[in-house]
C-alpha cells in the first residue's frame, strides 16, 4: 500500500471531518476491527447482523490511523483518527481500489469458473512466482468486498497479480473485472453451481464470460477446450485465446502419461511450442485441467519451462482444497470441504480412489447448495458415483444429502454401509467406529455445511 489518508480522501472525493495528529502512510485496509493492527485504515461496512460504524472506536484503540464514515452517521470521533465522510463506505472502498489499480503497470490474471478456480489461481501464482513477485487472492477475498481489498495490497514491487473472481449472479464478474483490469482471463469450466440464480449452464457461461468481455482488445482469454459453451463464447469475442484440455485440437493439451521411478509424469503439448514433461503437483484428473491453464499463462508470459516446473514444485494451496491430514488414529483425511457441486464431488471421489490405492475408503458428504432444478438429481447422481467408488462406507449429512444415500443404494451399495448423521460430532464418533488404520476419508460439502468441523471433532477426540 502506497497511499496516505489525505490521498484517499482526494481519490474518493470524500469530506475530511477529522485529521488526527498526522497524515501517515496506510499499512493496509481492514473491514474487521478485530483484525486491525497499528497503521491500518478501517472501513466500516453495514452487514446483516451489525454495522461496522459501531466498532470505529475499537479500531482506533487497536491502532487504526484512519477510517471511512457514512455521511450523517452518528459516531464519536477518536482524536487519533483521520476520518473521511463518504456516502457509502463500500462504494468508496471500490472506487479507491479502481483508482489505485490504475497506478500500476503489471500483468493481471483474472480467474473464474464453476469448479477449480481457487486451485487454478494457486497454480498460476506458483508458476509466475518463479520469476515475478506475485500477489494472489487470499482466502475468500474474491467478491465485491474482497477483490478491492486485494487490489489495495498492490505496491511498486509487485510484478504480477492473480485474482480470483466469484459470483452468484449476472453483472458481478463484469464489475470485478472492471476494477481489476486483467490482461489475461482464465475460465476453468462451467458447472452446476449457481443454477438457482442463473437458470441454466448457458446462463452460467454468460455470467463467467463477463471476465473475457472486459479484457482489452489485445488481452488473452484462456478457456477449457471441452466446454463448448465457453469455446463458442470466446470465438465470438474475436480476441486472442488459448484452449486447454485432453481434446484433440486444444491449444495446450495433455498428450501422454507415464510413471518413472515411482513418479507420475505427464506430457503437455502446445501449438508452436516444444512438449513439456512434468510431475503433477496435485492428484486427480480434474487438477490436470487446472495445471494446463497455469502452464498456458506461464508460456504466454514467456516463462521458461524450467521456471514453470520450479514454480509448480513450490505451489501453496488455499485452505480446505484437497488438504490431506494423517491423524494419530492412523487414518488419512482428505479435507476438500470448501465447497461442492456434482462436478467437484465426482472429482473428489476420483481423488479418493487415487490416493487410497487399495486401502479402505470412506466418504462423508454433505448437502450441495444452489443447484436449483438440479437439486434432487444432482444429489442422486453423486450417490450413484459413490456406489461405484468402492467405498467401505458412505456417511451423509444434511436434508438434501439423503438423496445421495438414496442414489447410492439404488445403484447397488448395501444399505448397511450407508449412514446418516445429524451433526459433525455424530459423524466424527461414527468414523471412530468405522475407520481403520491406513483408511482414507473424504470430507466434502457446500460451504454452508462446514464439513471441516468433522475433522476438528476427530482431532478433539484424541487430545
- Assess whether 334 and 446 both reside in one domain: yes
Q: What is the pLDDT of residue 358?
A: 87
Is residue 93 a part of any domain in this protein? no
Q: What are the DSSP E strand ranges found in 344-388?
A: 361-366
Whether the pTM exceeds 0.95: the reply is no
- Assess whether 292 and 339 both reside in one domain: no
Cβ within 8 Å of residue 392, ≥6 positions away = 360, 361, 362, 417, 434, 439
Q: What is the pLDDT of residue 171?
A: 94
Is residue 96 a part of any domain in this protein? no
Is residue 361 a part of any domain in this protein? yes
Please name which of 205, 212, 126, 215 lies closest in space to residue 162, comparing C-alpha atoms. Answer: 126
- The domain boundary, picked from 56, 88, 120, lies at 88
Is residue 318 a part of any domain in this protein? no
419 touches 314 (CB < 8 A)? no
- Assess whether 340 and 241 both reside in one domain: no
What CATH number did the domain enclosing 83 receive? Answer: 3.40.1390.10
Q: What are the percentages of helix, strand and coil residues in the chain, rounded to 5?
A: 40, 20, 40
Is residue 138 a part of any domain in this protein? yes
- The domain boundary, picked from 88, 120, 135, lies at 88
- Assess whether 174 and 307 both reside in one domain: yes
- Assess whether 24 and 139 both reside in one domain: no
- CA-based R_g, the chain, Å: 24
Q: What is the pLDDT of residue 336?
A: 93
Q: What is the pLDDT of residue 72?
A: 86
Is residue 347 a part of any domain in this protein? yes
- Assess whether 78 and 44 both reside in one domain: yes
Is residue 94 a part of any domain in this protein? no
What's the total number of domains in the chain?
A: 3
Is residue 348 a part of any domain in this protein? yes
- Assess whether 343 and 421 both reside in one domain: yes
- Assess whether 12 and 30 both reside in one domain: yes
Render pLDDT for 4-43 as a digit per residue (tens, 0 to 9). 999 999 999 999 999 988 888 999 999 999 999 999 999 9
For the beta carbon of residue 104, count every other beta carbon within 10 angstroms. Answer: 16
- Assess whether 304 and 327 both reside in one domain: no
Task: State the 10-residue block means of pLDDT for the chain, 463 residues long.
Answer: 91 94 90 95 89 94 95 87 96 98 97 92 97 95 96 96 93 97 96 69 90 96 95 92 91 86 80 81 90 95 95 88 90 93 93 93 95 92 96 97 97 97 96 95 96 94 60
- Assess whether 279 and 340 both reside in one domain: no
Render pLDDT for 186-234 as a digit per residue (tens, 0 to 9). 999 997 666 666 768 888 889 999 999 999 999 999 999 999 999 999 9
What CATH number did the domain enclosing 330 receive? Answer: 3.90.190.20
82 touches 20 (CB < 8 A)? yes
Q: Which domain holds residue 276?
A: 104-313
348 touches 365 (CB < 8 A)? no
Q: What is the pLDDT of residue 20?
A: 84
- Burial (CB count <10 Å: 0-12, 13-18, 19+), residue 263: exposed
- Assess whether 112 and 261 both reside in one domain: yes
Question: CA of 214: how far to CAs of 173, 196, 219, 225, 365, in Å?
Answer: 9, 25, 9, 20, 37
- Assess whether 337 and 411 both reside in one domain: yes
What CATH number did the domain enclosing 230 receive? Answer: 3.40.1190.10
Q: What is the pLDDT of residue 397?
A: 97
- The domain boundary, picked from 283, 313, 343, lies at 313
- Burial (CB count <10 Å: 0-12, 13-18, 19+), residue 72: exposed
Amino acid at each position: 500500500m502506497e497511499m496516505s489518508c489525505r490521498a484517499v480522501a482526494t481519490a474518493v472525493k470524500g469530506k475530511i471531518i477529522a485529521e488526527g495528529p498526522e497524515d501517515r502512510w496506510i499499512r493496509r485496509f481492514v473491514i474487521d476491527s478485530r483484525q486491525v493492527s497499528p497503521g491500518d485504515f478501517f472501513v466500516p461496512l453495514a452487514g446483516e447482523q451489525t454495522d461496522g460504524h459501531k466498532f470505529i472506536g475499537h479500531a482506533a484503540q487497536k491502532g487504526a490511523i484512519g477510517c471511512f464514515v457514512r455521511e450523517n452517521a452518528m459516531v464519536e470521533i477518536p482524536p487519533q483518527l483521520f476520518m473521511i465522510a463518504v456516502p457509502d463506505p463500500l462504494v468508496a472502498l471500490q472506487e479507491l481500489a479502481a483508482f489505485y489499480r490504475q497506478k500500476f503497470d503489471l500483468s493481471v490474471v483474472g480467474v473464474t469458473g464453476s469448479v477449480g478456480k481457487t486451485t487454478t489461481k494457486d497454480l498460476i501464482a506458483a508458476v509466475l512466482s518463479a520469476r515475478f513477485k506475485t500477489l494472489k487472492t487470499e482466502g475468500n477475498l474474491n467478491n465485491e468486498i474482497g477483490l478491492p481489498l486485494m487490489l489495495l495490497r498492490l505496491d511498486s514491487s509487485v510484478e504480477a497479480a492473480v485474482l480470483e473472481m466469484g459470483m452468484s449472479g449476472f453483472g458481478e464478474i463484469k464489475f470485478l473485472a472492471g476494477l481489476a483490469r486483467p490482461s489475461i482471463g482464465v475460465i476453468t469450466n462451467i458447472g452446476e453451481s449457481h443454477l438457482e440464480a442463473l437458470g441454466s449452464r448457458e446462463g452460467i457461461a454468460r455470467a463467467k464470460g463477463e471476465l473475457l468481455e472486459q479484457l482489452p482488445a489485445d488481452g488473452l482469454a484462456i478457456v477449457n477446450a471441452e466446454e463448448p459453451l465457453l469455446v463458442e463464447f470466446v470465438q465470438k469475442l474475436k480476441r486472442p485465446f488459448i484452449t486447454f484440455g485432453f481434446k484433440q485440437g486444444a491449444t495446450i493439451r495433455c498428450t501422454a502419461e507415464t510413471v518413472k521411478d515411482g513418479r507420475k509424469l505427464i506430457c503437455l503439448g502446445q501449438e508452436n511450442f516444444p512438449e513439456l514433461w512434468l510431475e503433477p503437483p496435485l492428484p486427480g484428473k480434474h487438477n490436470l485441467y487446472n495445471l494446463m491453464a497455469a502452464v498456458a499463462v506461464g508460456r504466454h508470459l514467456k516463462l521458461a519451462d524450467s521456471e514453470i516446473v520450479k514454480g509448480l514444485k513450490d505451489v501453496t494451496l488455499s485452505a480446505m482444497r484437497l488438504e490431506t491430514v494423517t491423524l494419530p488414529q492412523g487414518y488419512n483425511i482428505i479435507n476438500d470441504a470448501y465447497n461442492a457441486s456434482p462436478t467437484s464431488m465426482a472429482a473428489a471421489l476420483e481423488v479418493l480412489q487415487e490416493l487410497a490405492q487399495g486401502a479402505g475408503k470412506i466418504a462423508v458428504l454433505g448437502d450441495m447448495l444452489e443447484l436449483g432444478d438440479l437439486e434432487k438429481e444432482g444429489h442422486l447422481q453423486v450417490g450413484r458415483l459413490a456406489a461405484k467408488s468402492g467405498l467401505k462406507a458412505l456417511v451423509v449429512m444434511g436434508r438434501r444429502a439423503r438423496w445421495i444415500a438414496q442414489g447410492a443404494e439404488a445403484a447397488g451399495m448395501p444399505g448397511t454401509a450407508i449412514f446418516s448423521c445429524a451433526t459433525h460430532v455424530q459423524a466424527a464418533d461414527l468414523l471412530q467406529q468405522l475407520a481403520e488404520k491406513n483408511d482414507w476419508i473424504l470430507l466434502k460439502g457446500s460451504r454452508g455445511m462446514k464439513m471441516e468441523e468433522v475433522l476438528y471433532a476427530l482431532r478433539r477426540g484424541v487430545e
